[in-house]
Amino acid sequence: MKLLCTGAELADASSRGFDVDGQKLLAVRRNGRVYVYENRCPHRGVGLEWKPDQFLDPSNSLIQCATHGALFLIEDGECVAGPCAGQSLTTIPCHEDDQGIWVTL
Ligand code: FES
């Protein structure tokens, strides 16, 4: 397991990018829960963010790919609009405890 950050370093309705041993990840917190995915759009295989740590649409309710605008559900990574609709981000198992947010790679 790898520690991404402390819980306080990922505010609700916000996102952050991470590089863990060369693997690019994104983490989002929504309604208190943390979700972690590979930072890789299923459309072209590129990173999703438009600037560092910015992975969400303007309403902070969906993950958005900056390249062609695909939108993904925060809760399960499913693409619900855009060129890769029906495909999904790759889920990274994670959990949070008193020390912070952990991922299993
Ligand atoms: S690369 Fe993400 S929508 Fe095209």
Q: Could you tell me the residue ranges of all domains in the chain? A: 2-103
The model's pLDDT over 3-37, given as tens digits with 9 standing for 90+, comes to 999 999 999 999 999 999 999 999 999 999 999 99
The pLDDT of residue 26: 98
The model's pLDDT over 47-67, given as tens digits with 9 standing for 90+, comes to 999 899 999 999 999 999 999
CA distance 58 to 47: 18
DSSP code at position 7: G
Protein residue with least CA distance to atom 3, ligand 1: 68
> The domain 2-103 belongs to what CATH superfamily?
Rieske [2Fe-2S] iron-sulphur domain (2.102.10.10)
Protein residue with least CA distance to atom 4, ligand 1: 68
**Nearby residues of 12 by Cβ (< 8 Å), 6 or more positions away:** 29, 30, 31, 32
Cα of 100 from ligand 1 centre, angstroms: 31
pTM over 0.95: yes
Locate the ligand 1 atom nearest the alpha carbon of residue 44 and give its number.
1
